[in-house]
Structures are given as structure tokens and as C-alpha cells.
């Protein structure tokens, strides 16, 4: 699995939420529905700088119809993990495992 473009994901965080972020790590998320893998990818975790709503965000690249685009989800209920972020944002549409 290729390494996600960290700088591009950080720019997406900044553009969407108006704050800087610090890269923490990338984790592999495997989304399984029934007995089928429907999405596999790397989700990057960022700590947010001076953002009042939460201290963390999750971001990954999505293979959309118009090419790759960044997806960002804030760590706010019900999103409490990289896997929950993928589920909430429907990130398992175009990248089958």
C-alpha cells in the first residue's frame, strides 16, 4: 500500500477547518461487511493545533470518479477511531481489498 501524501492531507485539514495539524501516524483500516472485504486503506491520524471542537482528525485519499481526493473526518462522536471515520464518511466505496 503506497504511503499517503501527508502534506496534501494536512492541507485538506487546514482548508476545511482553518487550523494546522501535526501528523501522528497512519494505520491500516480493513472494512469487512459479512464475509467480504469492501475497503482497505491507510488512514492518517493528525493532532489539531488550536481547534476548539476536538484535538484529532483522520484523513485518507479516496479514489473517486474524478481521481484521488482527500477525505477528512474529525474525532467527534460517533467518530472515535480511524475505522469509525471511514464508516462515517463512506470511505469504502472505490478501493476494494
25-83 pLDDT per residue, tens = 999 999 888 999 988 999 999 999 999 999 999 999 988 777 789 999 999 999 999 99
Residue 39 belongs to domain spanning = 6-89
Residue 59 lies in a domain: yes
Residue 12 lies in a domain: yes
Residue 97 lies in a domain: no
Q: Which residue has the cell 484529532?
A: 56
- Give CA angle at 87 (12, 37), nearest 5°: 115
Residue 53 lies in a domain: yes
What are residue 40's phi and psi, to 5 degrees?
A: -135, 130
Cα separations in angstroms, 56 against 1, 13, 66, 95: 24, 10, 28, 24
Mean pLDDT score, 7-29: 97
Residue 75 lies in a domain: yes
Residue 94 lies in a domain: no
Counted domains in the chain: 1
Residue 95 lies in a domain: no
This prediction has a pTM of 0.88
Residue 49 lies in a domain: yes
Would you state the pLDDT for residue 93? 46
Amino acid at each position: 500500500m503506497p504511503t499517503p501524501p501527508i502534506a496534501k492531507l494536512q492541507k485538506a485539514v487546514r482548508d476545511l477547518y482553518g487550523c494546522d495539524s501535526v501528523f501522528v501516524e497512519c494505520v491500516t483500516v480493513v472494512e469487512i461487511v459479512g464475509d467480504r472485504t469492501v475497503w482497505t486503506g491507510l488512514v492518517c491520524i493528525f493532532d489539531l493545533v488550536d481547534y476548539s471542537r476536538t484535538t484529532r482528525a483522520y484523513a485518507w485519499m479516496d479514489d473517486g470518479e474524478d481521481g484521488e481526493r482527500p477525505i477528512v473526518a474529525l474525532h467527534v462522536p460517533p467518530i472515535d477511531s480511524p475505522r469509525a471515520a471511514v464508516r462515517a464518511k463512506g470511505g469504502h466505496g472505490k478501493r476494494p481489498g
